[in-house]
Amino acid sequence: MKNTNPYIVNFDDKLHSSPYSISLYRYWRQLHRQQRLFIIAIVLLCLFIYIGYRSHGAEKMKKLPEDYHRQEVVKEKQAWQRKKIEQIESNKVKVQKRIFSNPINERQIAVRDAMRHAWKAYRTYAWGYDELQPISKAPSIWFGIGLTIVDCIDTLYIMNMTEEYNDAREWIATSFDCDANSVDKFNSHFEITIRILGGLLSIYHLTGDEIFLKRAVELGDRLLINFNTPTGLPLAEINLKRKAASGYRWTSDSALSEVGTVQLEMRDLSRISGDQ
């Protein structure tokens, strides 16, 4: 019975009267029986493949070890680190070893002998400590990181004091340690930079020996902590062992001379290491 009320909508009539649905139905009816069977077979095959793929994927995921994703993250991190190292190596500045001759006159010999006398006393009474107190012959600790050795090794090399230089190099290679208990205190960021980092950079420029660059990078990474400030200006003091930075206790300001001076060592380290 046809609906004569204009305010009542018969959705069945609307659905069956859709031109699209009628044309699609007519097209399907006009197909040959074998064609319809072929289309149905294709649809069923696609459905079967999809279900099989889903089942295989789920089974494969079950077989993955529990730490699979963690291993993948570790692999990606290692790959990134290798790429970073390769990039740093390619950016490094090549340093040529310099050769110095022995003293050739009385004045040069006298200077070298004075250096050898002072070094022998330090080697005997304060080896590995920062300084020697000459009157008491007692060792003195300032930084706790072998200041005299690092600060003087370039002089030993320039004076061609081979035996003394080799001893100093061996100590830096085996005993230089930013995690030692002796460095567990706050010291001047400025003094450590110009004396320790500067000494390591200086001897590296003279010899090209990678052990000095390695130690300089280790120390430089610690010193970077002091630059983590809102202004980028370094704090005045640092505890190398605890990796902690602090300002001066007597002022909250920065000394312009200290801020400017440390740029020389830090920028040179960045340049020769290729790590910018």
pLDDT of residue 23: 74
Is the pTM higher than 0.75? The answer reads no
* Confidence at residue 44, expressed as pLDDT on a 0 to 100 scale: 87
8 falls in which pLDDT band (50, 70, 90)?
Answer: very low
Tell me: the pLDDT tens digits for 32-69? 788 878 888 888 888 888 887 776 666 555 555 666 56
| Secondary-structure class of domain 96-273 per CATH | mainly alpha
| pLDDT(2) > 70 | no
Higher-pLDDT residue of 267 and 73 is: 267
Confidence check: pLDDT of 218 > 50: yes
Question: 92 Cβ partners below 8 Å, 6+ apart?
Answer: 272, 273, 274
Q: Tell me, what's the pLDDT at 56? A: 62
Looking at residue 275, its pLDDT comes to 80
Domain spans in the chain, listed from the N-terminal domain onward: 19-90, 96-273
Residue 32: predicted pLDDT: 79
pLDDT in tens, 181-191: 999 999 999 99
